[in-house]
Each structure stands twice: as structure tokens, then as C-alpha cells.
A = this chain, B = another copy of it.
């Protein structure tokens, strides 16, 4: 039975190669590239993205896809591969070249302006750029078709809609706001022993490398470096790079960054080898990707069982600071809940409220219900309502995130979906696995990784995000496991 499917695979492979090279370039820019090399690097990136866009939108590829959509001899997996690449191409074709270019330029200007405006706490100078981003995002959404917000969201969370997110995030808010209030009324655990100027950076680095290996990140098929903002970039199926950052006065930063990125990295290393080079060797959505990092960072990395194994090691490395710290005190210290201004510093209870606020505001910006001029006021009002804190300035308020400046409207809710999915997956793992927490307490993390490989990683983009989680857990998307987990854990930590 002969068809042109192999030809499609070779074209997809070429696109994946370009993705990988762009990923390497991004990694290099954040790790080793010399300062002055940044501007030419931007040009290199634009050139490669242009080539990739040209290949992806070529009429020849379009015709090949249409032929294969109607090809009866394909099996189910092949049919799915065709659908995935068709989805990617359809989106790329719908946005006119002129708009692609205008958006890229606006992003570039906006990013630069955002950086300066944030430093100077000068929202007025960023505002016109945000207005342009919002305007061009509307044009992009209209070119893509369908409900505006959904059209943008689809880039990050294919298949998800605003209409479904609204009740999900409302349910989260209903559960979280009272929990945060109850916690705020209690005395916070002591974590002073974790804040000091004396945690050797080289020892921290060695610890993070050891953690990577223990978790199951394959250092023969990847590496770790340092960068200002931790990230995971996939260069190829055998080359996945994570980064971490190390602060001498806060060892938890490196530890949790490494665990978080290891979660992303192990997912990228875990796609079925038979799918390498195809559209199936990919995550179905950003939300499910984030579920992997959050699961390892929070569900595992902030558990009592995990630290019953690692605290002795940490005490051995830093005897002066942690020699006298008991497990219970340490566990409580890594689970302090504190409503704060900054999303990336937020604990796992308050985090989703930061997301909710952004989700509501970006919907309002896109629809026009909120204009950029009124963003700071709206931001601060919601911060007070959801978190009970008031930003003293816009730099730590509505300008704290890069996402909107970078043109990524529709991205934020994927973080909360990741949290919800992570709780669903962890609950299912514990349900199905005899002595699951005992294994983790003995440092046997391979049981969990194997379970995730079989339930989530290997299948890659064979199914949608929701279908993947449904198959893994037997449940539809739900925030209930997350709320149950948070209520149970923090009732204990805070004695509610």
C-alpha cells in the first residue's frame, strides 16, 4: 500500500529540525551568548522563523496534507499526525504575512519598552505598546476565526475555550479565597533558617545536579546550565536542556527551580521513541506540560515524604545553617503561604489567584471592556479583592510579567490548568500505587516517573490534553483534586 505519508513525515522532520535549532539559539541567548551578540541573534532568529513559516505555509505542503486527509490507507496514529500538522499549518496560513510581520515588530518594540518601563516604573511609556499588542492580537484572533479569546488560547491550549475556563477558574476562586483568608489569620511557620548569606553556590549547584539525576532526568540526553530565568528548551529528541538559578541567600530557589524544570525536561525526554520526528513527539498543550513541572515541584518537592529523604542530605551539605532543623519544621518552612505581589514568587495556594486576575483582565482587554489606560487601577483592585494586598507601584503590579509585552494573550490560564492536572494525576498515581508515598520517602522516585511515562509522557500528542488526563486518571478535567489537596495539606501545616 503506497501513499505519500513518508513525504509528509520528512517535511515535518524538517520543521522539527528548525524548531530544534531555534530552541538551541534561545538556550544560547540566555546562557552563554556574549552581550553584543544579542542584536544579530534576533536577526538570525527572524531569518529562521521566516524560513520555517515559508516551509509550513508552502502550497505543496498544503496539497500533500489535503491528499493525506482523504487517504484511506492510513492507520489511526498516522491520521492523528496528519491532523496535528494540518492544525499547525491552518493556523499559520490564516494570518496574513503583513500581520505576522507587524506583530513580530510590535512584540520586539514592546518587549524593549516593557523592560525599560518596568525598570523606571513608568506605565505611561509602556501603555502605547500594550495598546498596539492588544489591537494586533484582535486582528490575529479575527484572522484565525471563531471566538476571539479562544483563537489566541488555542495557540497554547488547543481545544480549550474561555467558556469552559470561566466556571473552572471561578470554582478555584471560590475554594481558594476563603482558604487564603483562613491561613492569613494564622501565624506563618518560621523559615528564617533558610534565609541567610551563607549557602555555598558550588554546593548548591552540585546538589541540583544530583537531584536531576535522582528524579530521572537523563543527563546523557540533556544538560543543566545557569540562567537568570530558569527554563527548559528541547534541541532534539536526545538533547533537552534545563536551566536553574542559584542565590547564595536562598537555597530553595535553586532546588525548586531544578525540580520544576526537571519535570518539564523529563516529559520532553519521555515521548515514545517510535514517535520521534513526528508531530506526536510533543505535548498536547502548555497546561499539560506545566502539570509535569508542577507535579514534581509541588506535589512531590514540597511533600513531607520527599524531605524525609532529602533533608538529611541537605543537613550534611549545610550543617551550620540546617544542622539543627527537624523534618517537621523544614516541611512547614517550604510550605509557607503568603499573599504577595509577585506571581512567580507565589506559593501553590495563592498562585492560582494571580492567574485568575490575569485571565479576567486579558479577556477584558481583548474585548475592549477594559482599556490599557485603566489597567493599573483594575489590576490593583483585583489584587486587593483576591489576595488582600495592594501593589505600591506598577512595576510590581501590572507590569511584572513579560507575557503581554511579548504578545502572549491567552497563555496565563495554562498555568492553572497545569496545577489542576497535576493534582488529578498525583491523586490517581497514589490511588493506583501501593505505598506510593512510602516509595517517595525512601527516595525511590522511579515509581512515579514510570507511572507518568506510561500514562502521560509516552503518548505525547496522540490525544488532546484533556483526553490524556482522562485516560490517565479516569476523570474529566476538574479542579476538585487540587482544592482537596490544598485544603488537606494546608489545614495540617497551618492547623486550620
A219 to B35, CA, bound (A): 9
CB of A393 within 8 A of chain B?
no
Residues of chain B within 8 A of A223, CB atoms compared: 32, 34
Find out whether the CB atom of B44 lies under 8 angstroms from the CB atom of A17.
yes
A236 to B33, CA, bound (A): 11
Find out whether the CB atom of A43 lies under 8 angstroms from the CB atom of B17.
yes
> How would you classify the secondary structure of chain A's contact residues: helix, strand, loop or mixed?
helix
Find out whether the CB atom of A34 lies under 8 angstroms from the CB atom of B237.
no
User: Smallest distance from the beta carbon of A414 to chain B beta carbons, Å?
Assistant: 27
User: Smallest distance from the beta carbon of A270 to chain B beta carbons, Å?
Assistant: 14
Find out whether the CB atom of B34 lies under 8 angstroms from the CB atom of A18.
no
A221 to B34, CA, bound (A): 6
Residues of chain B within 8 A of A35, CB atoms compared: 220
A18 to B44, CA, bound (A): 7
Residues of chain B within 8 A of A41, CB atoms compared: 235-236, 239
A20 to B21, CA, bound (A): 12
Chain B: CB-nearest residue to A40: B236
Find out whether the CB atom of A221 lies under 8 angstroms from the CB atom of B20.
no
The proximity string for A residues 205-247 relative to B, scoring 1 for CB distances below 8 Å and 0 otherwise, is 0000000000000111111010000000001111100000000
* Contact A220-B43, Cβ < 8 Å, known A21-B48, A28-B28: no
Residues of chain B within 8 A of A21, CB atoms compared: 21, 25, 44, 47-48
Find out whether the CB atom of A236 lies under 8 angstroms from the CB atom of B37.
yes
A221 to B48, CA, bound (A): 22
**Chain A residues numbered 11-34 whose CB sits less than 8 Å from any CB in chain B:** 13-14, 17-18, 20-21, 24-25, 28, 32-34
Q: Pick from B13, B36, B235: contact of A239, CB below 8 A.
A: B36
Count contacts on A: residues with CB < 8 A to the other chain: 35
Find out whether the CB atom of B20 lies under 8 angstroms from the CB atom of A238.
no
CB of A325 within 8 A of chain B?
no
CB of A124 within 8 A of chain B?
no
A238 to B40, CA, bound (A): 7
* Contact A20-B40, Cβ < 8 Å, known A34-B220, A222-B34, A238-B34: yes
Chain B: CB-nearest residue to A17: B47
User: Smallest distance from the beta carbon of A62 to chain B beta carbons, Å?
Assistant: 19
CB of A329 within 8 A of chain B?
no
CB of A51 within 8 A of chain B?
yes
A242 to B110, CA, bound (A): 34
Residues of chain B within 8 A of A98, CB atoms compared: none
A469 to B39, CA, bound (A): 33
A20 to B220, CA, bound (A): 27
Q: Pick from B28, B33, B48, B239: contact of A34, CB below 8 A.
A: B239
Residues of chain B within 8 A of A33, CB atoms compared: 235, 239
Find out whether the CB atom of B237 lies under 8 angstroms from the CB atom of A40.
yes
Query: What would 12 A/B residue contacts be, using CB atoms closer than 8 Å?
Result: A13-B43, A18-B47, A21-B47, A28-B28, A32-B223, A34-B223, A39-B238, A40-B235, A40-B238, A41-B236, A43-B236, A44-B236
Task: Give me 6 other A-B pairs in contact (C-beta within 8 A), A17-B48, A36-B220, A41-B235 excluded.
Answer: A33-B235, A34-B222, A34-B223, A36-B221, A37-B236, A37-B238
List the 6 shortest-distance A-B pairs measured between CB atoms, nearest first.
Answer: A37-B239, A40-B236, A36-B238, A17-B47, A36-B221, A17-B44
